[in-house]
Amino acid sequence: MMRLFIAALLIGLAGGACADVQNRNTAAVVLLDIPESHGPELTNAQVVVSILLRLLQPQDTLAVTRIDTSGFGEKNVVAKMTLDRRPSVANIQKRAFQKSMRSFPNLAKGGAFSDISGGILGAVDQLKATGAARKYILIFSDLKERLREDYHFEVPFQLSDVTVLAMTPTDRRDDDPEADSYENRAKRWRTRIENGAGKWRTIDDLGQIETIFASRHLPAKPLKRAN
């Protein structure tokens, strides 16, 4: 009888350790476009990263990447981490990430380019590598792509299971309503994203981020399409 108890206990604990894991992890890549005139966006990005750090759970992944260069590569990654499965270690990782994000603005200088397409392609690669169930790309940009003249190309996106969240910039002084407004650019990007089987959503309020990531363990609901 005692053996049965011990076996049951061990099976319970071992079952916990080696359970058939249902992947419910979340992976998010933050794409930062930091032109010189967009200082407030960096602050917003920091706030959003703090929110994400608070909401992400062990085994989730977070990466922050710059897209203010022409071309995209590993050098653009500002910080990246996959949280440990133990909450205490995950907390230490979050602190380290927060620290690196705090020191980032001192080193960051706005670039002359803005490679949003390259950033999205790189982010998709990173997200797929994590194998997470929920994949998000957060874009802090005015959605104006500024590439080198010899860099112009349009690769179709493969964004199945990826949701792209475009953070509406707070400062739109350089928008020309007559010519090419932010809304028009957002519509074009949305078309591109949806053509690549991805989901598009514009975020006007940071609270929406909290809502999206807090409900991460609930069954996925179809996101409301942006107008």
Residues near other proteins, by CB under 8 A: 1-2, 5-6, 8-9, 12-13, 15-17, 19-22, 24-25, 50-51, 53-54, 57-60, 85-88, 90-91, 94-95, 98
H helix intervals, the chain: 2-17, 39-55, 87-107, 116-130, 182-195, 206-214
Q: How far is the CB of 166 from other proteins (least distance, A)?
A: 23
Smaller CB separation from other proteins, 54 or 225: 54
Query: What is the per-residue DSSP string for 27-48?
Result: EEEEEE---TT-HHHHHHHHHH
Smaller CB separation from other proteins, 29 or 49: 49
Tokens of 128: 């797929």
Whole-number Cα distances in Å, 212 to 63, 113, 184: 17, 30, 25
Q: How far is the CB of 14 from other proteins (least distance, A)?
A: 10
Q: How far is the CB of 212 from other proteins (least distance, A)?
A: 17
Smaller CB separation from other proteins, 24 or 188: 24
- Are 135 and 27 in contact by the 8 Å Cβ rule? The answer is yes
Smaller CB separation from other proteins, 20 or 149: 20
